[in-house]
Amino acid sequence: MLIDFHSHFLPQIDDGSRSIEESVGILDIMAKSGVDKIIATPHFYCTEQSSDQFIERRDNAYERLRPELKEEHPEIGFGAEVLYDHSLVNYDKLPDLCIKGTKWLLLEMPYTDLDDKIISGVEAMTNRGDVKIFVAHIERYLNFTSMKRLDELMHLELLGQINAKSLMTFKTRRRCMKLIEKGYVHVLGSDYHRIGRGDVTVDHGFEVITKNKKFDDFAEYAEENGKKILRDESLNSIL
């Protein structure tokens, strides 16, 4: 089962797809690449809208797209890419932003040094009990913070996701492989926004990873992790 945990294919809701036609085109690409399930994760910024407003907009975007869906398209799940903000630590509607039917929340870190306040805030979120965290595109944060800081984040009770596109160039591939070796990467996502932007489907990411003999079973590992996330299993069953 090939699962894409991070995508922006819903039409006209964020900086992803600009039209229903483009959304259908993205799903066509996903189907051809063998993706079985794709999670819609539009951006959520708590300073710009409430969770209720976000969910209404997400549902409306899907309803506009639904009549154009094809039998061969991947099954669609619903979540959000939630940008970290200190106010989210005690936000009572945070569970509404999890992957629908689970307690798993895709959390995007701010593009800055991951200081003590941010690390402590994320730790408090993991201790809430009503959400379970997996962190979006962890490889990106090394452009803004140190590996030591990322180590602190990834030693919390959470999971990590990387983008398939980051495996396509030498510099970012080497970074991703190091994160996999450290045991920080549990699932992949495409973070697919636009056709023609250069985004890459997850099958290509797995192909790159598994060419390395050290990680030749990573696709099976990530698939099992993905199934456990969708079944809303505990963090301990994955780590």
The pLDDT tens digits of the residues spanning 48-91 come to 999 999 999 999 999 999 999 999 999 999 999 999 999 999 99
> Considering its fold, how many domains does the chain have in total?
1
CATH number at residue 158: 3.20.20.140
Identify the DSSP state of 143: G
Q: What is the pLDDT of residue 236?
A: 87
Q: Which residue has the tokens 């408090």?
A: 124
132-139 mean pLDDT: 98
Q: Is the pLDDT of residue 234 over 90?
A: no
pLDDT tens per residue across span 86-104: 999 999 999 999 999 999 9
Percent of the chain predicted with pLDDT > 90: 97
Q: Which residue has the tokens 């990322």?
A: 150
Classify each residue of 192-217 as buried b or exposed e, where b means 16 or more C-beta atoms within 10 Å of its C-beta.
bbbbeeebbbbbbbbebbeeeeebee
136: containing domain: 3-237
Q: Which helix (H) or strand (E) holds 230?
A: helix 218-230
Q: Is the pLDDT of residue 235 over 90?
A: no
Sheet strands side by side (includes 37-40): 3-7, 37-40, 75-78
